[in-house]
A and B are shown apart, each in its own frame.
Chain A
Amino acid sequence: MGFGGNSQQLLSKIATNDKHGENSPYFDGWKAYDRNPFHPKNNPQGVIQMGLAENQLCFDLIEEWIRNNPKASICTPEGVHQFRNIANFQDYHGLQKFRNAMANFMSKVRGGRVRFDPDRILMSGGATGANELIMFCLADPGDAFMIPTPFYPGFVRDLCWRTGVKLIPVHSDSSNNFKITREALEEAYKKAKEDNINVKGLLITNPSNPLGTTLDKDTLKSLVSFINEKNIHLVCDEIYAATVFSSPNYVSVAEVIQEVEHCKRDLIHIIYSLSKDMGFPGFRVGIVYSFNDEVVNCGRKMSSFGLVCSQTQHMLASMLSDENFVTTFIEENSRRLKKRHDKFMKGLEEVNITRFPSNAGLFCWMNLKSLLKEPTFEDELKLWRVIIHEVKLNVSPGSSFNCSEPGWFRVCFANMDDETVDVALNRIRAFVGRETKKPVGIKRWQQNLRLNFSSRIFDETTVIMSPHSPIPTSPLVRAT
């Protein structure tokens, strides 16, 4: 049964290529978690999910607000009189009060140091949709965007899959603290030109995923100068803006352009979302904020393909214009993230695991180079598989972030409760303890490359799951 001939040929190239990113080896981690998910009571030996950058620390604040503000819902007796107006509203401009509230929130997150114009706020299907939308506006198929490594793996799908845009990595490494240097940018740009690739812009994530750091003002200024000089666009994904928990203070590109002389604002675009700062990725609130009028006009029309649900707009219009709530939330969110971060770092320090010092984000960038036999990506993956199957933690290997040096791992810490953090730290302590008791040069885990468990056999070359059974909790499925 089926088409006469190869059914694959009857789908488009986009449909049949791999740019959706799900056929990558990193899915082993998700598989392991799915088969054996940790639960404090029901499955305390299960795999702990530390690969999901979610913010679960402040739901109580939001729930309380919702309970106290029944009018913000169109389904409660207090709010149902608004039901038909809201249910019927599909104007791609978005509710004015929603845009006002978003502009207000974005400004507060940046300490009020910059004001945002509600008329420049465009909606999209989460930051996933926003990043794709801005590419459609700025680049043609075959054009390229420069992007510093390490970067969020989902970018390959978001920026390239349906747009046909290429990514040009701009490498950084620990030798200079993963700084994005002018030299690295110039080199990448030059090489692209030599290869006849049309570079349309530079995309940065600030605060950084996976590094968990904010860019200092000078670096930001130098990036702005660079793109001005080359006359290319700058897209700043500021999705983690409110997860900054310690100094240095956050500097948004919106602040910097006020200070750079002769800055061509038409080149500057910000991507935002509430998925990380507020912890509700399920509500799909993505924002494109552009300083370029044409992009705003065109992007607004494109937002029809991924509008924010009017029910959600209505609720957020109230929530985010509640000054008291916003101020309290931002402060408390920051405080709880710091507490969680500090607890986790202390645990790592106790076993001499170093990590990249961070002041933002929902994760830490852990340095496990000392546990690699050889500083190679093969060994990184081998170590990773051991961490999944023996230590039972799903963490993300640096190579999945296109990191240019092996041995780094991103570990998320804000998507669980305190007790689970303790369990995770205990497991790490036990593992490192075992490793450090051995004779130098021979790591125990390397003698057991083929790991056998009573009911499961893991082959190192286990492939990637079938395209017909994607892992429900994988990062790409969750667009995280």
Chain B
Amino acid sequence: MGIEIEQPCVELSNVAVSETHGENSPYFAGWKAYDENPYDEFTNPSGVIQMGLAENQVSFDLIEKYLEEHPEEASTWGNGASGFRENALFQDYHGLKTFRTAMASFMEQVRGGRAKFDPQRIVLTAGATAANELLTFILANPGDALLVPTPYYPGFDRDLRWRTGVNIVPINCDSSNNFQITPEALEASYKDAEAMNFKVRGVLITNPSNPLGITIPREVLEEILDFVTRKNIHLVSDEIYSGSVFSSSEFTSVAEILEARENRNAERVHIVYSLSKDLGLPGFRVGTIYSYNDKVVTTARRMSSFTLISSQTQHLLASMLSDERFTESYMETNRERLRKRYQMIIEGLRSAGIECLNGNAGLFCWMNMSPLLEKPTREGELELWNTILLQVKLNISPGSSCHCSEPGWFRVCFANMSEHTLEIALQRIRDFMARIRTETETESA
């Protein structure tokens, strides 16, 4: 009788079995806790409040109103039978011209007209997730590295590294100077990469920053541009939150700096944008890459075949975004509402004894809870996070999930809920902090 050799299971790819998608991290316990016990104002008022999702839900009514007032534009296929047919068949990776033009003009508006965007340089992708991955495929080979300032959006670990095989080397920033990116930090990061034998291909910044909620000052942007020029590498500026700056004049886009420099050395710069945050439409999958480099535009366009924007959506948004009266009014109202929310949460936290980084943009605040840590370590931070999750029933994002080098910071989202829910959340925090103070006083008595 022979020995039966069991056929081994057919292997999947290395990409498939790797953990680089990032979902097996401890932070997913937060999502689980929320899923199992989600807060609802009426049906589950003691459930977990989701404060880990950077969504913009404060301005939907403005868009709904636009749709109600513009039924022809709202009809996603224009007039006549041929409208549907043409739209349904349209899969040209150049994208609808009207849509690209509308995006370019919208991006100009978001920057207060301080920079011009050429619709021919706009490449469309299904979301910024796809845009960032696609750019990485174009700018770097497997094994190369991109330098990214910390703390950064946790999704970058997947978007920039997973299928591309590219590495992220952190540019360390800390609270000593409000987490600004310094020339020393840039140089140090570059050297770190070299020490690991990674070829550095570029720097990727998020401006305004997620999770910090601040815009990068003009001088710092100039320094970063000088740095990448010296090193002869690329600069990717993810400006996905550019329309969420509370006061438009406080945002400087890298596009403005390039214009001031008469587009010298612009070929190394690429901007990523999306409508997921500013317009609150993450479901529609609208991302763009704006590159000053012809070859990148051409290649990115070809690659966008894997991730085109639905023609239905392009048509709808082409109308909406080229209505300048609507977009002006939307931007102004959206900024103001976000600013108000930000004020509300900052004051609420302050009254509970918690300080935040002085922010001016985004859908979240960067909260400093380091005084509360048992130990000033990542473990200490995770312990505190766990307590907040299970006792205070708030799902917030610990700084370590954003690769922050200093423990104790947390990102707290405020725009994905009603004002009422935010009040409840703040009350829970106040109560929690009061309990801690009482406990501390009791202990020291």
Q: Which residues of A contact B (CB under 8 A)?
A: 1-5, 7-8, 10-15, 20, 22, 54, 56, 59-60, 62-63, 66, 73, 75-77, 80, 83-84, 86-90, 125-126, 128-129, 132, 136-141, 143, 157-158, 161-162, 200, 231-233, 264, 266-267, 275, 279-284, 292, 294-295, 298, 301-302, 304-312, 315, 467-468, 470, 472-473, 476-480
**Which residues on B sit within 8 Å (CB–CB) of A302?**
21, 162-163
Q: Assess A20 versus B302: contact at CB under 8 Å? Given A266-B10, A301-B158, A310-B283.
A: yes
CA distance A302 to B74 in the complex (A): 31
In the complex, whether B12 has a CB less than 8 A from a CB of chain A is: yes
Does A3 lie within 8 Å of B89, measured CB to CB?
no
Does A125 lie within 8 Å of B64, measured CB to CB?
no
Q: Which 6 A-B pairs have the closest CB atoms?
A: A310-B283, A282-B311, A309-B310, A280-B88, A75-B74, A90-B282
CB contact between A282 and one of B8, B90, B232 (< 8 Å): that residue: B90
CA distance A306 to B138 in the complex (A): 17
CB contact between A11 and one of B163, B295, B307 (< 8 Å): that residue: B295
Does B92 lie within 8 Å of A10, measured CB to CB?
no
CB contact between B129 and one of A20, A129, A264, A305 (< 8 Å): that residue: A305
Q: Which residues of B contact A (CB under 8 A)?
A: 7-10, 12-17, 21, 23, 55, 57, 60, 63-64, 67-68, 71, 74-76, 81, 84-85, 87-94, 126-127, 129-130, 133, 137-142, 144, 158, 162-163, 201, 232-234, 263-265, 267-268, 276, 280-285, 293-296, 298-299, 301-303, 305-313, 316
Report 11 cross-chain contacts, Cβ distance below 8 Å, ordered by A residue. Answer: A7-B295, A10-B139, A15-B296, A59-B85, A125-B307, A139-B13, A281-B91, A298-B21, A305-B127, A305-B130, A478-B92
B174 to chain A, nearest CB (A): 30
CA distance A80 to B234 in the complex (A): 43
A302-B21, A305-B163, A470-B301 given; 17 more Cβ-contact pairs under 8 Å? A1-B265, A10-B201, A11-B296, A12-B137, A15-B138, A80-B67, A84-B60, A90-B285, A125-B305, A128-B306, A136-B13, A136-B16, A162-B303, A304-B127, A309-B309, A472-B94, A476-B305
Does B75 lie within 8 Å of A75, measured CB to CB?
yes
**Which residues on A sit within 8 Å (CB–CB) of B138?**
11-12, 14-15
Closest A residue to B284 by beta carbon equals A309
CA distance A56 to B306 in the complex (A): 23
B401 to chain A, nearest CB (A): 17
CB contact between A83 and one of B12, B60, B158, B303 (< 8 Å): that residue: B60
**Which residues on B sit within 8 Å (CB–CB) of A60?**
81
Does B163 lie within 8 Å of A306, measured CB to CB?
no
Does B284 lie within 8 Å of A310, measured CB to CB?
yes
**Which residues on B sit within 8 Å (CB–CB) of A308?**
285, 310
Closest A residue to B88 by beta carbon equals A280
Closest B residue to A52 by beta carbon equals B89
Does B310 lie within 8 Å of A312, measured CB to CB?
yes
CA distance A477 to B302 in the complex (A): 7
**Which residues on A sit within 8 Å (CB–CB) of B140?**
12
Most-contacted residue by chain A among B127, B264, B301 (CB, 10 A)? B127
CB contact between B91 and one of A87, A467, A480 (< 8 Å): that residue: A480
Q: Assess A162 versus B71: contact at CB under 8 Å? Given A283-B88, A301-B21.
A: no
CA distance A141 to B285 in the complex (A): 28
**Which residues on A sit within 8 Å (CB–CB) of B301?**
470
CA distance A80 to B67 in the complex (A): 8
CB contact between A479 and one of B93, B158, B281 (< 8 Å): that residue: B93
**Which residues on A sit within 8 Å (CB–CB) of B15?**
136-137, 140
**Which residues on A sit within 8 Å (CB–CB) of B307?**
125, 129, 305-306
Q: Assess A311 versus B294: contact at CB under 8 Å? Given A87-B60, A266-B9.
A: no
Closest A residue to B297 by beta carbon equals A468
**Which residues on A sit within 8 Å (CB–CB) of B267?**
1-3, 7
Does B89 lie within 8 Å of A54, measured CB to CB?
yes
Does A283 lie within 8 Å of B311, measured CB to CB?
yes
B122 to chain A, nearest CB (A): 15
Closest A residue to B283 by beta carbon equals A310
CA distance A468 to B300 in the complex (A): 12
B129 to chain A, nearest CB (A): 5
**Which residues on A sit within 8 Å (CB–CB) of B316?**
75, 311
Does A75 lie within 8 Å of B139, measured CB to CB?
no
CA distance A89 to B57 in the complex (A): 12
Does A282 lie within 8 Å of B88, measured CB to CB?
yes
CB contact between A56 and one of B63, B85, B137 (< 8 Å): that residue: B85
Q: Assess A307 versus B302: contact at CB under 8 Å? Given A281-B89, A479-B91.
A: no
CB contact between B14 and one of A12, A140, A233 (< 8 Å): that residue: A140
CA distance A479 to B295 in the complex (A): 20
**Which residues on B sit within 8 Å (CB–CB) of A89?**
282-283
**Which residues on A sit within 8 Å (CB–CB) of B23?**
301
Closest A residue to B9 by beta carbon equals A266
CB contact between A233 and one of B10, B60, B85, B268 (< 8 Å): that residue: B10
Does A295 lie within 8 Å of B93, measured CB to CB?
no
**Which residues on A sit within 8 Å (CB–CB) of B64?**
80, 83-84
CA distance A467 to B294 in the complex (A): 10
Does A306 lie within 8 Å of B12, measured CB to CB?
no
Closest B residue to A306 by beta carbon equals B307
CA distance A472 to B93 in the complex (A): 8
**Which residues on B sit within 8 Å (CB–CB) of A266?**
9-10
CA distance A187 to B281 in the complex (A): 52
B90 to chain A, nearest CB (A): 4
**Which residues on A sit within 8 Å (CB–CB) of B302?**
20, 22, 157, 470, 476
B322 to chain A, nearest CB (A): 16
CB contact between A88 and one of B139, B265, B282 (< 8 Å): that residue: B282
Does A73 lie within 8 Å of B76, measured CB to CB?
yes
CB contact between A305 and one of B16, B84, B264, B306 (< 8 Å): that residue: B306
**Which residues on B sit within 8 Å (CB–CB) of A4?**
232
Q: Assess A1 versus B264: contact at CB under 8 Å? Given A311-B283, A311-B312.
A: yes
B239 to chain A, nearest CB (A): 19
B276 to chain A, nearest CB (A): 7
Closest A residue to B21 by beta carbon equals A301
**Which residues on A sit within 8 Å (CB–CB) of B67?**
75, 80, 83
Most-contacted residue by chain A among B8, B10, B23, B71 (CB, 10 A)? B10
**Which residues on A sit within 8 Å (CB–CB) of B12?**
137-138, 292, 294-295, 298
Does B92 lie within 8 Å of A473, measured CB to CB?
yes
CB contact between B280 and one of A62, A87, A294 (< 8 Å): that residue: A87
**Which residues on B sit within 8 Å (CB–CB) of A301?**
21, 23, 158
A325 to chain B, nearest CB (A): 16
Does A88 lie within 8 Å of B280, measured CB to CB?
yes
CA distance A125 to B313 in the complex (A): 14
CA distance A437 to B67 in the complex (A): 63
**Which residues on B sit within 8 Å (CB–CB) of A264?**
10
Closest B residue to A302 by beta carbon equals B163
Does B74 lie within 8 Å of A76, measured CB to CB?
yes
Closest B residue to A227 by beta carbon equals B10
Does B295 lie within 8 Å of A8, measured CB to CB?
yes
**Which residues on A sit within 8 Å (CB–CB) of B311?**
282-284
Does A3 lie within 8 Å of B232, measured CB to CB?
yes
B418 to chain A, nearest CB (A): 12
Q: Assess A126 versus B88: contact at CB under 8 Å? Given A12-B138, A137-B16, A302-B163.
A: no
CA distance A291 to B227 in the complex (A): 49
Does B126 lie within 8 Å of A125, measured CB to CB?
yes
**Which residues on A sit within 8 Å (CB–CB) of B285?**
90, 307-310
CA distance A90 to B93 in the complex (A): 22
Does B93 lie within 8 Å of A477, measured CB to CB?
yes
Does B282 lie within 8 Å of A306, measured CB to CB?
no
CA distance A13 to B142 in the complex (A): 9
CA distance A75 to B232 in the complex (A): 47
CA distance A305 to B287 in the complex (A): 11
A46 to chain B, nearest CB (A): 18
Does B16 lie within 8 Å of A295, measured CB to CB?
yes
CA distance A478 to B311 in the complex (A): 12
B280 to chain A, nearest CB (A): 7
CB contact between A10 and one of B60, B234, B276 (< 8 Å): that residue: B234
Does B68 lie within 8 Å of A77, measured CB to CB?
yes
